[in-house]
């Protein structure tokens, strides 16, 4: 023990200083502890472990795992790619309305340029219908002719990965909505264009885009019959006041729709006045003319007559004399007339009341119009008798 104590004093001192073991422990205990320390150091040297300067960095250190039972393979989820921010829609504003047949151009913006193989994907969806998809490289797109209805649209950036195959590059934009209204009806013509107040007129209105919900308005809404998209008919009421009316078209809500760039008019005319029967004047009484006789002096013959009435301003005595049928001699206001006869023969003479212009050559034949009353006698001049012979009519 003394030997051990003496020989082990340096190890002990080393152990006391290195491991903090005091020298108050028993020699046997100290010997055991010292032997253990030496064994550990020698074991480290025998294994060839690296010195502190040779220690590997943690990120490349290789650790040998403790053999265990082989576990089932773990499926690692594919990470979702990070998408770029969404495209910003710029117009038209959501809720915009367009007339039927109008051109609708959708617009959007994005701060970065498209890369090779990238496109804007425009999706347009109508209520209750399939989505229409368009791939475009511009920041706007004019839609083809869409029927009337309500639509929604959105835009995203996609990358082509093959024929008809695309993958998202950006988030999809918000959905904007717009509406295409039905085309407005247009009136081109109306037939007939007028009627007389108090008469019913069946009118035919021709134009475009007529539907059964429309009503013809000419002064008042009229019961309307729909024939086809270009023809409607109605009947003008007989009580419609005389005036000039624009031909309008009303929808089901009662709102008037512009009929045409230049409005078509329908005219109700004032009926013509009813002609009044002109009372016929009481015919004037024309008593017969009394022939007073003939005076013959040489070749001069004087005819004489009388009449109980007075001639009116436009009335005249018409004197007619001639062999056989008499012919006009003169118009006169007198009741006698003298003229010369140079030819013997049987004459007829006639006096009548004649209306007309004295500048006229003669009155017309005895038709009861110009000659209203007359008297006729026959006399003979010459031959065996020197006096005229009166032959009763």
Same domain? 139 vs 215: no
The number of domains in the chain is: 4
Same domain? 176 vs 196: no
> Does the structure show a pLDDT above 60 at 54?
no
**What percent of the chain clears pLDDT 70, i.e. is strictly above it?**
70
Q: What is the mean pLDDT of the chain?
A: 76
Q: What is the pLDDT of residues 237-263, one digit of tens each?
A: 888 888 898 888 888 888 777 655 557
Q: What is the pLDDT of residue 157?
A: 94
> Does the structure show a pLDDT above 70 at 271?
yes
Same domain? 163 vs 243: no
Is 277 inside a domain boundary?
no
Domain endpoint, select from 180, 200, 225: 180
Is 379 inside a domain boundary?
yes
Task: Name the nearest CA neighbour of 218 among 226, 229, 239, 185.
Answer: 239
Query: Which residue range is the domain that position 386 belongs to?
Result: 290-391
Same domain? 211 vs 164: no
Task: Name the nearest CA neighbour of 157 among 174, 139, 141, 172.
Answer: 172
Question: In this predicted structure, which of 27-36, 153-162, 311-320 has the lowest mean pLDDT?
Answer: 27-36
Q: What is the CATH number of the domain that holds 320?
A: 2.60.40.10
Task: Name the nearest CA neighbour of 376 among 343, 352, 346, 341.
Answer: 352
> Does the structure show a pLDDT above 80 at 86?
yes
Contacts by 97-103, CB closer than 8 A, 24 or more apart: 97/178, 97/179, 97/180, 97/181, 98/178, 98/179, 98/180, 98/181, 99/180, 99/181, 99/183, 99/184, 100/148, 100/180, 100/181, 100/182, 100/183, 100/184, 100/209, 101/145, 101/183, 102/180, 103/142
Residue 314 banded pLDDT, cuts 50, 70, 90: confident
> Does the structure show a pLDDT above 70 at 227?
yes
In the predicted model, what is the mean pLDDT of residues 124-139?
86
- In degrees rounded to 5, what are phi and psi of residue 382? 90, -175
Residues 6 or more apart from 215 whose CB is under 8 A from it?
A: 221, 222, 224, 249, 250
Is 61 inside a domain boundary?
no
> Does the structure show a pLDDT above 90 at 370?
no
Q: What is the pLDDT of residues 21-51, one digit of tens each?
A: 444 444 454 455 455 554 554 454 444 444 4
Is 58 inside a domain boundary?
no
Q: What is the pLDDT of residues 110-128, one digit of tens each?
A: 998 899 999 999 999 987 6
> Does the structure show a pLDDT above 50 at 106?
yes
Is 285 inside a domain boundary?
no
Q: What is the pLDDT of residue 361?
A: 55
CA separation for the pair 37, 93 (Å, rounded): 86
**What percent of the chain clears pLDDT 90, i.e. is strictly above it?**
17
Is 67 inside a domain boundary?
no
Residue 64 banded pLDDT, cuts 50, 70, 90: very low
Same domain? 338 vs 366: yes
Is 63 inside a domain boundary?
no
Q: Could you tell me whether strands 165-168 and 243-246 are parallel, antiparallel, or unpaired per DSSP bridges?
A: unpaired
């Amino acid at each position: 023990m003394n030997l051990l104590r003496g020989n082990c004093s340096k190890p002990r001192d080393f152990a006391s200083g290195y491991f903090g073991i005091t020298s108050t422990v028993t020699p046997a205990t100290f010997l055991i502890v010292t032997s253990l320390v030496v064994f550990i150091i020698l074991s480290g040297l025998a294994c060839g472990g690296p010195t502190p300067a040779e220690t590997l960095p943690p990120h490349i250190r290789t650790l040998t795992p403790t053999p265990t039972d082989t576990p089932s393979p773990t499926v690692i989820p594919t990470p979702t790619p990070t998408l770029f921010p969404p495209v910003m829609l710029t117009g038209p504003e959501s809720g915009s309305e367009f007339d039927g047949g109008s051109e609708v151009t959708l617009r959007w913006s994005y701060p970065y340029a498209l890369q090779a193989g990238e496109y804007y994907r425009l999706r347009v969806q109508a209520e209750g219908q399939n989505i229409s998809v368009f791939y475009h490289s511009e920041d706007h797109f004019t839609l083809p002719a869409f029927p009337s209805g309500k639509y929604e649209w959105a835009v995203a950036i996609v990358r082509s990965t093959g024929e008809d195959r695309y993958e998202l590059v950006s988030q999809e934009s918000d959905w904007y909505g717009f509406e295409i209204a039905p085309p407005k009806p247009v009136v081109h013509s109306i037939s007939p264009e007028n009627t007389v107040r108090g008469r019913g007129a069946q009118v035919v209105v021709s134009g475009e885009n007529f539907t059964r919900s429309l009503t013809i308005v000419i002064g008042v809404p009229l019961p309307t019959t729909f024939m086809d998209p270009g023809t409607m008919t109605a009947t003008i009421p007989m009580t419609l006041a005389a005036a000039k009316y624009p031909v309008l078209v009303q929808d089901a809500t009662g709102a008037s729709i512009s009929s045409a760039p230049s409005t078509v008019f329908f005219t109700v005319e004032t009926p013509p006045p009813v002609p009044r029967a002109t009372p016929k004047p009481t015919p004037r009484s024309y008593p017969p003319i009394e022939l007073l006789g003939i005076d013959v002096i040489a070749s001069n013959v004087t005819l004489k007559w009388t009449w109980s009435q007075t001639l009116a301003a436009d009335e005249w005595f018409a004197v007619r004399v001639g062999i056989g049928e008499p012919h006009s001699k003169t118009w006169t206001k007198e009741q006698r007339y003298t003229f010369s006869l140079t030819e013997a023969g049987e004459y007829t003479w006639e006096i009548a009341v004649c209306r007309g212009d004295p500048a006229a050559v003669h009155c017309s034949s005895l038709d009861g119009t110009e000659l209203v009353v007359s008297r006729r006698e026959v006399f003979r001049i010459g031959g065996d008798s020197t006096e005229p012979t009166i032959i009763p009519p």
